[in-house]
Chains A and B, each alone.
Chain A
């Protein structure tokens, strides 16, 4: 069964550095999402992406964040200048709403900002 994949599984960075988290959504999916989960807390929506543009974004998704679909398979989340509070698990998800309303989650990237 196809799955969403994410790389890297764990990223350690210094405060103020830029990071790019990568995702490969399921191949025939058209909707893409990023969520984050701070350790021990709930999953929080960041942004959704459809038809090569942002569809919806939360208050968390400020100017430090950006998303891109640089080619036909990858979907990236960039954090321009990381802060300590950006430390979290970042999940990518994708969906194909022609057949199912389900959002399929990737395994996550654990981001640690030192």
Chain B
């Protein structure tokens, strides 16, 4: 089955700086890669996603890049703000809508004021 590795496990950045979180996946059949943000005690919420036919996607301060050849994808957050502090999970999915997501272990992003 699919395996998703995520790094780093903890990332501390100064407010206003950029943060980058990286994930690799094992199965080249994976075609959908979402990123979820989870605040303490809350549900995971989708912040951005990318499909395998696209190399990059941006939404305001957040961007995701995908390198299918290397089987890795990254989340980029620019101009970080205190409310960006949370745990971020990458995930991958093979097949269609009936298939489950395989998650990485998460990155605890800490924004230092």
Residues of A within 8 A of B (CB): 30-31, 33, 35, 41-48, 50, 55-56, 58, 91, 95, 97, 101-108
Contacts and interface: CB of A to CB of B under 8 A. Distances in A.
A45 to B, nearest CB: 3
A107 B97 contact: no
Given A55-B98, A101-B49, A91 B105 contact: no
A45 B106 CA distance: 15
Contacts of A108: 43
Determine the main DSSP class of B at the interface with A: loop
Contacts, number: 62
Given A101-B51, A105-B43, A35 B105 contact: no
Determine the main DSSP class of A at the interface with B: strand
Interface string B1-24: 100000000000000000000000
B45 to A, nearest CB: 7
Name the residue among B1, B43, B101 with the largest chain A CB count within 10 angstroms.
B43
Given A35-B100, A43-B89, A102-B49, A107 B106 contact: no
Contacts of B44: 43, 91, 105
Interface residues of B, number: 24
Contact of A103 (B101, B102, B106): B101
A76 B76 CA distance: 37
B99 interface: yes
A33 B100 contact: yes
Given A56-B98, A101-B97, A42 B106 contact: yes
B101 A101 contact: no
A35 B45 CA distance: 14
